[in-house]
Amino acid sequence: MRDLNELVDAARKAAARGAEHVVTSTPPPASEWTVKNRNDFVTEVDREAERLIAEILQKRVPGSVVVGEELTPRSQAEAEVVWIVDPLDGTTNFLHGYPQYAVSIGARVDGHLAVGVVQDIRRNLVYHGATGLGAWCGERRLSVSKVSDPARALVGTGFPFKHQEEIPRFLEQLKVVLAGSSGVRRAGAAALDLADVAAGKLDGFWELSLAPWDVAAGAVLVREAGGVITTLDGSDDILSHGSIVAGTPALHAWLTTLSRIG
């Protein structure tokens, strides 16, 4: 069996190297942004951060495979250890100087999501967790909030900016959450949103379309902090380029009722 502590250590070192590259890089001018899809940009900063991260991960864990957003976007790679990497979650924020972006590194071990590290680049905070070992921010163990009443909940979300055909459905769901909660926030980096759920800063989170590298690391944190994370329809298959609902058990149950809308 793999020592999960060793995998967490490898992911933390790789995340630190990627974050160092990003924080010492100047956002390029808009003329140098590559458009992957509508409203979805990538730069050489993202690509080089992923190269550095992959280099460390594969050196520390020989035989492991890296599935990265920018260089190796394959969600179904097979190996004993598969790293699922977003080298810069929140690229648009980075490009505009909005201080909400992160490195996200998750790991599947023998087919099961087991390790997660999220490094908040601007705040220099490192969230880490592994199956059975808890979720942590530095030396502080994380726990989801104790809020169970939606009317007292602060809920995070993400806009369907890549899939604009989902906007009408999302807006109908947003009406329900705005009316039933104490507030909704959208900061633009799902890995940090999930870390905030694990830390009890957000009581719940939902988004209609996310990729595996957006959620792999954060999902481990949420589960190890006592929360629940599934797709909108309640499936545990969260690495399939689709919807995500996370939160305290009570808030997760409330948010999954949004599946009836649209």
73: which DSSP letter? -
Is a pLDDT exceeding 60 seen at residue 261?
Answer: yes
Answer yes or no: do 40 and 127 share one domain. yes
Residue pair 89/77 in contact (Cβ under 8 Å)? The answer is no
Residue pair 147/180 in contact (Cβ under 8 Å)? The answer is no
Report the CATH number that the domain containing residue 119 is assigned in CATH: 3.30.540.10
Helical segments of 76-166, H only: 91-96
Residue that finishes a domain, picked among 117, 141, 165: 141
Angle value at C-alpha 45, between 165 and 4, nearest 5 degrees: 85
Is a pLDDT exceeding 60 seen at residue 75?
Answer: no
Burial 186-195 (b: 16+ CB within 10 A, else e): ebbbbbbbbb
Is a pLDDT exceeding 90 seen at residue 23?
Answer: yes
Answer yes or no: do 117 and 224 share one domain. no
Is a pLDDT exceeding 60 seen at residue 73?
Answer: no
Q: What is the mean pLDDT of residues 51-60?
A: 97
Find the Cα–Cα–Cα–Cα dihedral 91, 96, 100, 101, rounded to 10°: 20
User: What's the number of domains the chain is made of?
Assistant: 2
Residue that finishes a domain, picked among 106, 141, 176: 141
- Residue 106 β-bridge partners: 84, 116
Residue that finishes a domain, picked among 122, 141, 160: 141
Contacts for 120 with CB less than 8 Å, ≥ 6 apart? 102, 126, 127, 192, 195
Answer yes or no: do 122 and 157 share one domain. no
Higher pLDDT, 262 or 224: 224
Is a pLDDT exceeding 70 seen at residue 39?
Answer: no
Question: Considering the entire predicted model, what is its pTM?
Answer: 0.94
Find the Cα–Cα–Cα–Cα dihedral 52, 57, 62, 64, rounded to 10°: -110
Give the pLDDT confidence score for residue 41 in this predicted structure: 67
pLDDT in tens, 191-205: 999 999 999 999 999
Range in 31-45, 64-78, 141-155, 158-172 with the lowest mean pLDDT: 31-45
**Owning domain of residue 221:** 150-260
